Amino acid sequence: MANPFLRRATEYIRDAEAFLSIVSPAPLTTFLAGHKRQNELFDHPIRIIGSPGTGKTMLATLAEFRMVETILSDLNSQTNRPLARALADAGIVVDQKPHVAAVRVPMESEYRDFWELPYPPHIKTRLAFWLLQARALLGLIRGLTANGKRDLSQIRFRPRADYDAHIDQIGGLTADGVRRRALAVERAIYSVGSSLVPPKLEDLPEDATAPYDPFDAIEAVEIDWNGQPLELRPLAMLDDVHELHHEQLAALFDVMSRREMRFGRWMMMRLDALSPSAVLQSAGSPPAANRSEGRDFIDVRMQVDIKKADARRKFRTIAQDIANRYLPMIETFRNRDTPKIRDLLSTAQPTISKSKLDDLRTRVDRSQDDLEITSERRHSIEALVSEYVTNVVPQMPEDIELAMVRILMHRYDKRRANSTPSLFDDGDPDPKTPLEADRSVAHGAMIHLHHIYKRPLHFGIEALCDASNENAEIFLNYAGALVAEVETRAIRRRSLMLSADVQQTVLGDRARAIIDAWTFTHASKVRQLVYKMAADCVEKSLEPNASLDAGANAVAILESDFENIRADDELLLVLKHALANGAITIERNYGQGGKLWCLVELTGTVCLASGLTFLRGGFLPKKVKYLREAIADA
């Protein structure tokens, strides 16, 4: 296979074992296992919402019965053990046996076309719903028999209590009967949707109009499992429901979110299928289809709900695991010991050239002169920095030390200017708030050096992971670019490890290419917005005193101002698409300085492209007007 990082490798593998060897259980553990309402995920209708690349389809594929059965068939396997654990944590497996019979139903195909039929909306909805039910049942039965462990006679369906009347509708309780009925319904409804000229209502085939509600009627599926009967909760996972017309999706959601339904149903969609206020999690966002989130349905957002630092830490482990599974698939590494991704990315601090170092020294001296800082004060600042270096970062290169000194001199000047002058001042007063040389100043120094001297800022495995905003697909995109470079070095018989310079160049180029290739709705406005934000963040970050330490990578609007933006405002629409497509993240009610803010953060991709820090915390307080101006006339 060509570089598996740069294509969705899992979508090209048909064999279950081969798929399992490269798949990561991360989506299960991150988004389902820890969910606060995990016990209800098979009872309520669930909306699983995520940006492209967050692992929706991977999650659905892993949860499908045939895959679960494959995993459980060999728990001694090193590949299968962590996957089985993840499935258990997510509630799909209990006591090393399947608890759920799940089937993935892709919604990309002709369901959307049903909305164009010349029938009343409730008929169109019913046709699409019955078709997907039929396909879900057919897929479920196929999945239950896929591994050859049982035949149709060893599968039975248990109806809901008091739903005997529906049994005939669905073809009885045997798998054979259910399958025949589902086939008939599918055939009939498909013929309606695919015909060149849709039939008149009165001419619809009988199988397309006779009542058919297996999702209502079926409560459980009974199968033979290793010679013993086992009862499973049925679950239909509708993948990519955002492909439907938005009215169709709303209508279907209304039908599927009836709480009495016992057939589990997950609707997997991209973020931009929701309304702007739902995406931005505005307090007053209208309920979906007059249903209430939490009571009538549950949202599982495939983005981090837990603390960002924890999420980052978790993702770093997951991402490296994914990368280390993909590396052996690279042709060039096949006949040699495949290195781990961590070992391919140097974290050795780069150094700037001698001429640049001399220039830096001159710059620092000039700052001292311009600020009229005494030699004694400068020495004391240098001593602070030296102490930090000695105690905390003994290998710190001289350029960072010098840049830290420069920052601290500027901070001293600011603090000196803010202090009350005294008759006894010798022009070198101690600041009220003592100066500190610490990690945050070092970060600020690195940002300065990056922009002034092109010193690499983003390198090493942690930077690679953090650049991805916990999105596996984005991570693979960046990792793929780096691995392509490693492969070149392997071909050219050189040491495989990439220097910081090479990593920065490759990642920066890739980030800019990603941004340039955005073609989603309102992409040009989003591009204009993020570049404006980035430019202003860079300007702030390059303040000589590095007032925000590592600098800014976000703007913040007062929460009360943001909440007042009208739901139909174009700004919210642009922000929604920016969020849904990985340009920004938004955190509501972010507390800072005794106020609540709506924090609009640039994602790792934009920070990479613009030379900004990945560290959180630094933001520019702005008004709503700033965002409006940023997207005007794009």
Rank residues 6 and 567 by Cβ distance to another protein and give the closer one: 6
Least Cβ distance, residue 512 to another protein (angstroms): 14
Which candidate, 97, 47, 34, places its Cα nearest to that of 267? 47
Rank residues 384 and 490 by Cβ distance to another protein and give the closer one: 490
Angle at 34 between CA 30 and CA 37, to 5 degrees: 130
Interface with another protein includes 332 (CB under 8 A)? Answer: yes
Strands of 165-323, DSSP E? 218-225, 228-239, 264-270, 298-301
Rank residues 480 and 544 by Cβ distance to another protein and give the closer one: 480
Strand partners, 223: 155, 230
Binding positions for another protein, 484-523, rule CB under 8 A: 484-485, 487-494, 502, 505-506
Distance CA 247, CA 266 (A): 18
Given a contact cutoff of 8 angstroms between Cβ atoms, the answer to whether 476 and 326 are in contact is yes
Least Cβ distance, residue 427 to another protein (angstroms): 52
Rank residues 9 and 280 by Cβ distance to another protein and give the closer one: 9
Least Cβ distance, residue 4 to another protein (angstroms): 14
Which candidate, 581, 614, 610, 587, places its Cα nearest to that of 471? 581
Which candidate, 517, 504, 506, 536, places its Cα nearest to that of 583? 517
In terms of Cβ atoms closer than 10 Å to its own Cβ (0-12, 13-18, 19+), residue 614 is buried
Do strands 554-558 and 218-225 pair parallel, antiparallel, or not at all (unpaired)? Answer: unpaired
Distance CA 211, CA 21 (A): 43
Least Cβ distance, residue 335 to another protein (angstroms): 10
The one among 331, 343, 372, 387 contacting another protein by CB under 8 A:
331
Interface with another protein includes 7 (CB under 8 A)? Answer: no
Rank residues 507 and 557 by Cβ distance to another protein and give the closer one: 507
Interface with another protein includes 380 (CB under 8 A)? Answer: no
The one among 2, 348, 417, 634 contacting another protein by CB under 8 A:
2
Least Cβ distance, residue 502 to another protein (angstroms): 7
Least Cβ distance, residue 329 to another protein (angstroms): 14
Which of 182-190, 481-489, 555-563, 608-616 is the region at the interface with another protein (rule: CB under 8 A)? 481-489
Rank residues 38 and 332 by Cβ distance to another protein and give the closer one: 332
Size of the residue set binding another protein (CB under 8 A): 16
Given a contact cutoff of 8 angstroms between Cβ atoms, the answer to whether 217 and 167 are in contact is yes
Least Cβ distance, residue 484 to another protein (angstroms): 5
- Phi-psi domain of 157 (left: phi exceeds 0; alpha: psi -120 through 50; beta: other): beta
Rank residues 183 and 484 by Cβ distance to another protein and give the closer one: 484
| Amino acid at position 269, single letter | M
Rank residues 36 and 493 by Cβ distance to another protein and give the closer one: 493
Binding positions for another protein, 95-114, rule CB under 8 A: none
Strands across the sheet with 595-602, in order?
Answer: 584-592, 595-602, 554-558, 619-622
Binding site for another protein (CB under 8 A): 2, 331-332, 484-485, 487-494, 502, 505-506
